[in-house]
Structure 1
Amino acid sequence: MDDGMMNLQQTLIEIETNAEHLLLARHELVENDKIRNGNREALTALRRRARTTKTSVPSPFESLMKDIGAGSRPLVREMCPTCGDHDPKEPTWMIFPGSDIFCRIPFHAAHSILENDQEQLDYSTKKLQSYVKEKSLVISEMGALDDRISPAVLKSLVTLTDGPK
């Protein structure tokens, strides 16, 4: 084979490999978003059940100021922002991700597990988004299609469909 053809073949292999990694990362990002939305819905349902919102539960400082001079009560009462005045030991049914097992666990444990999962999913989503940006930049710098093919031809290739004759 000619050296030019070998170079072209090697470049196409690199572009296709990077594009495949990009598509896999985007697919994983979509799956991650589905799980994040499910967790968010579950946390909202638990907050409704406890009749709290993220900002409705007073901070420890507010509790301290309210309880000054109460005598026998402790000055600071730790309060979970999700549980609020709701009974944290109340049993709650929960299904664990990736399994078909329902467990009856305390209310506080259920929302703590979901909040930790949500933080991990947010972190992995940010990592995936930066990876997608990086791969997109690499593919763009390689000049995949846009430098060699005119935009009109590229648009016609993108809209090309197979249909019965």
Structure 2
Amino acid sequence: MEDGVQELQKKVAEVEVYAEDLLLARHELVECDKARNGNREALTAMRRQAKTSRSSVVSGAGGDGDECRTCGDYDGSTPVWYMCPGADVFLRRPFHGVHSQLEQEQANLDSRVKSLQSVVKEKTLQLSNSGALADRIAPGLVNALVTLKDN
């Protein structure tokens, strides 16, 4: 009898670890998504200020070959107010430097979100294979959804 109780406790502890990992990954995914949306909004506002769109300026369309897709004909040295990430400090920096930094940060956040989505899929599959989701979702269905590839 006591062996069964210990085995049950071990199984519950294992499921709790998987569930905690899943919740942490989902929380981090939500936070990255919020930051990504904020960057997207800032980049859109900067494109509106420069009166360009992502596809309106072909890179290298000018004679000099170094025309920026966001700046276009807008003066990239015009200073704009910029809030430092992770701090409540505003800086006045050149337009081109700010949007370049935001675009780089956006690319980093996009890759981070993709990796976190993979982690969430993996943790969900582990949780399903442990039998914790058996009463709600069939393990075969979870396995089919997790192994689904995005082309």
| Cα distance change of structure 1 residues 13 and 81 upon mapping to structure 2, 3 Å threshold | same
| Cα distance change of structure 1 residues 101 and 2 upon mapping to structure 2, 3 Å threshold | same
- How many residue pairs get aligned? The number is 137
User: Matched residues in 2 for 1:96 and 1:46: separation?
Assistant: 16
User: Matched residues in 1 for 2:34 and 2:45: separation?
Assistant: 17
* TM-score between the two structures when normalised by the length of structure 2: 0.85
Once the two structures are superposed, what CA deviation does each residue of 1:25-55 show, in whole Å capped at 9, x if it has no partner? 1111111111111100000000000011111
**Hey, what does 2:14 align to over in structure 1?**
14
Conservation of the 8 A alpha-carbon contact between 2:83 and 2:89 = yes
| Cα distance change of structure 1 residues 22 and 150 upon mapping to structure 2, 3 Å threshold | closer
2:73 is the alignment partner of 1:77: no
**Hey, what does 1:36 align to over in structure 2?**
36
User: Matched residues in 1 for 2:21 and 2:98: separation?
Assistant: 35
Moved more, 51-60 or 33-42: 51-60
Unaligned runs of 5+ in 1: 64-74, 152-165
* TM-score between the two structures when normalised by the length of structure 1: 0.78
1:145, distance to aligned residue in structure 2 (A): 4.8
1:77, distance to aligned residue in structure 2 (A): 2.5
**Hey, what does 1:51 align to over in structure 2?**
51
**Hey, what does 1:102 align to over in structure 2?**
90
1:150, distance to aligned residue in structure 2 (A): 8.1
Runs (4 or more) in structure 1 with deviation over 3 Å come to none
In our comparison, the structure showing a higher alpha carbon Rg is: 1
Q: Which amino acid aligns with 1:20?
A: E
2:129 is the alignment partner of 1:141: yes
Name which of 96, 110, 116 aligns with 1:122.
110
1:59, distance to aligned residue in structure 2 (A): 3.4
